[in-house]
């Protein structure tokens, strides 16, 4: 059986490279791989493109990644939250690029990448700035725009429980974007609260099957 | 040319009163998406005996009100606006791709969204101000195009007098032709193929007060009711 369990945070993060596209899970407080993000902050990595719903709040998590100078570009749906001071300042100063994507389109672009598809037609954004430069199609009388897949070099996700093979379950709304990011990256690293023995997870209830997980780091919290 | 309008120098509805009025129109057995901002205040006013299934974009189907006791607050159970919530009996969690599939796929009977502007053709603006280099979309574009009805809730006039109930949007659109009703601190409006119909006015206001605060011609039905605030 492939060994996926990282012995340390440093080992889990050691896979990442400069200039990578990194998908980071979480929405609000829930499902944020906080320790993996801290690990990236300490890594000295540069030029990362970070995909997350938001652009960080306060001075922790993605906001700290920005402050540490790791990030060249953010891809988000809601970058200007009231507490996103670090991002707002850096964006105004031209120190970080931004691509704003509707939240459902962002999720579906990643699901597409994970599913091996070349894009999809969505009614979201028709007639808005989001449609600019994108081919528009009419299908059965309804207008759609073409959106392309969004693939990550890496995904940093947060899960609740993992078995030795790497199967994952999540807790409540902390599931959020994590299962989608797990399938959309070339290399997925999961921060997990608890490791359980083989067969302790109900196969009917596994949300992310182990094939999407390349590495996991158990925090025990 | 920038059109300015004025709200009357009279008491208008509070955000709570607006949310309370809107909540009365959420029908039993509907699946309703609740957006961030004023929409979250409507959750508390859905009558307890009425079984409305609330959807939160981050993956909650069957969202309930905030927990009563502080020790029951769970960081893994927050609303789209990042406030603590609960899960109703029979609720479920889904990931974001499924949450937005549900929205675009037509399973939402209604979405309650905040707005910068609503036009008489139902166009919605709520993500970006004119001239800004960017803005916050969140889930609004997907939810607005997918929901069977969109209830917009907003103040009637912006602080600087820019009209929010307009004939045509001056703000960048979020979605075209989607809004069906508008709930403001002055009135309740329906969006019809002929334009805005003034259904109800806030207590103490006149039809003329409301018309003067719009940059769109309002259609008056035979009876304009007073909002039960």
CA distance A214 to chain B (A): 20
Whether the predicted pLDDT of B155 surpasses 90? yes
pLDDT of residue B120: 98
H-helix or E-strand spanning residue A10:
helix A9-13
Give percent of chain B above pLDDT 90. Answer: 97
pLDDT over threshold 90, residue A221: no
User: Measured between beta carbons, which residues in chain A are less than 8 angstroms from residue B104?
Assistant: 104, 122-124
Average pLDDT over residues B146-169: 97
Q: How far is CA B96 from the centre of its chain?
A: 21
> Residue B13: what pLDDT?
98
CA distances from A116 to A146, A148, A209, A213 (A): 16, 11, 17, 17
Count of other CB atoms within 10 angstroms of residue A140: 4
pLDDT, tens digit (0-9, with 9 covering 90-100), for B3-45: 899 899 999 999 999 999 999 999 999 999 999 999 999 999 9
Which residues of B are catalytic, by number? 57
- CA distances, B221 to each of B167, B196, B218, B225 (Å): 19, 11, 10, 10
Structure tokens at A150: 């969004």
Tell me the three state secondary structure of residue B97: helix
Does position A208 have pLDDT exceeding 70, yes or no?
yes
Q: What is the mean pLDDT of residues B150-155?
A: 98
| Local confidence band at A110 (pLDDT 50, 70, 90 cut-offs) | very high
Contacts of B95 in chain A (CB under 8 A): 107, 175-180, 207
Q: What percent of chain B has pLDDT over 70?
A: 100
Measure CB to CB from residue B141 to each of A98, A125, A179 and give the nearest one: A125
- Are B139 and A102 a contacting pair at CB < 8 A? yes
C-alpha to C-alpha distance for B201 and B15, rounded to whole angstroms: 15
Band of the pLDDT at A49, cuts 50, 70, 90?
very high
At B2, the pLDDT band (50, 70, 90 cuts) reads: confident
> What is the share, in percent, of chain A residues with pLDDT greater than 70?
100
How many residues belong to chain B? 229
B203-212 residue pLDDT tens: 999 999 999 9
Residues A85-106: tens digit of each pLDDT: 999 999 999 999 999 999 999 9
Distance CA A198, CA B24 (A): 50
Question: Residue A196: beta bridge partners?
Answer: none
The whole-chain average pLDDT of chain A stands at: 97
pLDDT above 90 (res A84): yes
Put simply, the answer to whether B95 touches A129 (Cβ < 8 Å) is no
> What pLDDT score was predicted for residue A105?
98
Question: What residue spans of chain B are helical by DSSP H?
Answer: 15-23, 38-42, 96-104, 140-146, 207-212
pLDDT at B229: 75
Rounded alpha-carbon distances, angstroms, from residue B163 to A180, A213, B20, B58, B128: 40, 51, 23, 32, 15
- Tell me the mean pLDDT in the region B162-181: 97
CA distance B224 to B48: 29
Cβ neighbours of A180 in B, within 8 Å: 95-97
Chain-chain contact of B141 with A173 (C-beta, under 8 angstroms): no
pLDDT at A220: 86
Element (H, E) at A137: strand A136-139
Report whether pLDDT(B1) > 60. Answer: no
Q: Select the residue of A128, A170, A180 nearest B172 (Cβ to Cβ).
A: A128
- Decide if pLDDT at A20 tops 80: yes
Mean pLDDT confidence for A200-210? 98
For helices A103-114 and B96-104, give the axis angle rounded to 10 degrees: 120
A120 pLDDT more than 70: yes
Q: Does A170 sit within 8 Å of B93, measured CB to CB? A: yes
């Amino acid at each position: 059986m492939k060994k996926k369990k990282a012995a340390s945070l440093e080992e889990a993060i050691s896979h990442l490279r400069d200039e990578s596209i990194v998908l980071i899970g979480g929405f609000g407080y829930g499902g944020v791989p906080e320790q993996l993000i801290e690990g990236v902050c300490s890594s000295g990595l540069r030029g990362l493109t970070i995909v997350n719903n938001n652009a960080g709040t306060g001075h922790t998590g993605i906001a700290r990644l920005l402050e540490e100078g790791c990030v060249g570009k953010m891809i988000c749906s809601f970058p200007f939250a009231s507490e996103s001071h670090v991002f707002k300042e850096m964006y105004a100063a031209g120190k970080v690029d931004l691509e704003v994507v509707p939240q459902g389109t962002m999720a579906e672009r990643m699901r597409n990448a994970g599913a091996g598809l070349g894009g999809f037609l969505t009614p979201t954004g028709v007639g808005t700035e989001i449609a600019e430069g994108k081919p528009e199609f009419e299908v059965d009388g309804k207008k759609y725009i073409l959106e392309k897949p969004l693939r990550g070099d890496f995904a940093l996700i947060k899960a609740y429980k993992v078995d030795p093979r790497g199967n994952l379950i999540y807790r409540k709304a902390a599931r959020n974007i994590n299962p989608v990011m797990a399938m959309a990256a070339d290399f997925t690293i999961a921060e997990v609260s608890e490791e359980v023995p083989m067969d302790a997870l109900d196969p009917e209830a596994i949300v992310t099957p182990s094939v999407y997980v390349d590495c996991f780091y158990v925090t025990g919290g | 040319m920038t059109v300015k309008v004025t709200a009357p120098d009279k008491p208008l509805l509070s955000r709570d009163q607006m949310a309370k009025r809107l909540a009365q129109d959420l029908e039993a057995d509907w699946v309703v998406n609740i957006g961030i901002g004023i929409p979250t205040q409507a959750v508390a006013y859905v009558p307890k005996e009425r079984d409305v299934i609330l959807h939160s974009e981050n993956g909650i189907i069957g969202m309930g009100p905030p927990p009563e006791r502080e020790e029951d607050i769970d960081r893994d159970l927050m609303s789209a606006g990042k406030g603590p919530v609960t899960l109703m009996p029979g609720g479920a969690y889904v990931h974001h791709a499924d949450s937005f599939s549900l929205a675009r796929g037509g399973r939402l009977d209604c979405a309650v969204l905040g707005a910068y502007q609503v036009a008489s053709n139902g166009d919605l603006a709520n993500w970006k101000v004119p001239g800004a280099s960017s803005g916050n979309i969140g889930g609004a574009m997907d939810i607005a195009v997918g929901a069977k009805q969109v209830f917009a809730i907003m103040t009637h006039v912006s602080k600087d007098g820019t009209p929010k109930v307009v004939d045509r949007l001056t703000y960048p659109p979020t979605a075209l032709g989607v809004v069906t009703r508008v709930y403001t601190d002055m009135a309740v409006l329906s969006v019809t193929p002929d334009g805005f119909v003034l259904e109800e006015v806030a207590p103490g206001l006149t039809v003329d007060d409301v018309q003067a605060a719009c940059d769109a011609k309002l259609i008056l039905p035979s009876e304009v009711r007073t909002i039960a605030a």
